[in-house]
Amino acid sequence: MLTRKQRDLLLFIHERMTAGDVAPSFEEMKDALGLKSKSGIHRLINALVERGYLERMPHRARALEVRKLPEGSKIAPEDNTAAARITRAIDSVRAEVSSIFESIPLHGKIAAGTPIEAIRDENTTIDVPPDLMGRSGRHYALTISGDSMINAGIHDGDTVIIREADTADNGTIVVALVDDSEATLKRYRRSGNKIILEPENDAYEPRVLEPERVKVQGHLVGLMRTYH
């Protein structure tokens, strides 16, 4: 996702090159974005090149070419530039994917080891196959940090899919909020008047807590893994 300045610069360059086939000067870019120095333009262009939106072209005046436009751009019907064609194709694929997958919030990291403070990012989403979520309900995703659940097949860096719930049966793997500040993924058990949060790794000890210290936030229903 581009920042506002990155998006504004990219669209400005595209508009100028559509009209004249030559990229605007750094001075013109600086003035258009209201920046005080050209160094800010250099940083924005580097970021756009790294993200594949711009390409530096050798042996050409001002040596820039727009490869694609920002997601959701309003492209004029008469715009038949390569960037416009590529962006239309990308938007078409995104529309097809969105009809197959369901977008759910990705709420940052959760510890599967020593508990960490709950991290919540309301602005990031992830596309998930509906079959991975099972029955209906509200869902969100978390990225695993730590190795305390490896015997349950949950590894550091995995993305887990959570169905929201505030209660749990014995043996359920849950997101537990401890003392209203620490979020952790553990197997939930109730023993007498205590709550036990059990790891799935012999290197870690279970945590035995008073019930009022533990709030169930949801149940594990799915997992996604990326291989590098």
Give the three-state DSSP class for 219: strand
- For 43-76, b/e burial (b = at least 16 CB within 10 A) is ebbebbeeeebbeeeeeeeeebbbbbbbeebebe
> Please, what is the Cα angle at 26 between 23 and 32, to 5 degrees?
90
Please, are residues 139 and 221 in contact by the beta-carbon 8 Å criterion?
Answer: yes
Q: Which of 68, 73, 145, 148 is catalytic?
A: 148
- For 6-38, b/e burial (b = at least 16 CB within 10 A) is bbbbbbbbbebbbeeeebbebeebbebbebeee
Q: Which of 68, 99, 186, 191 is catalytic?
A: 186
Is 186 labeled as catalytic in the residue annotation? yes
Q: H/E element holding 42? A: helix 38-50
Q: So which residues are the catalytic ones? A: 148, 186
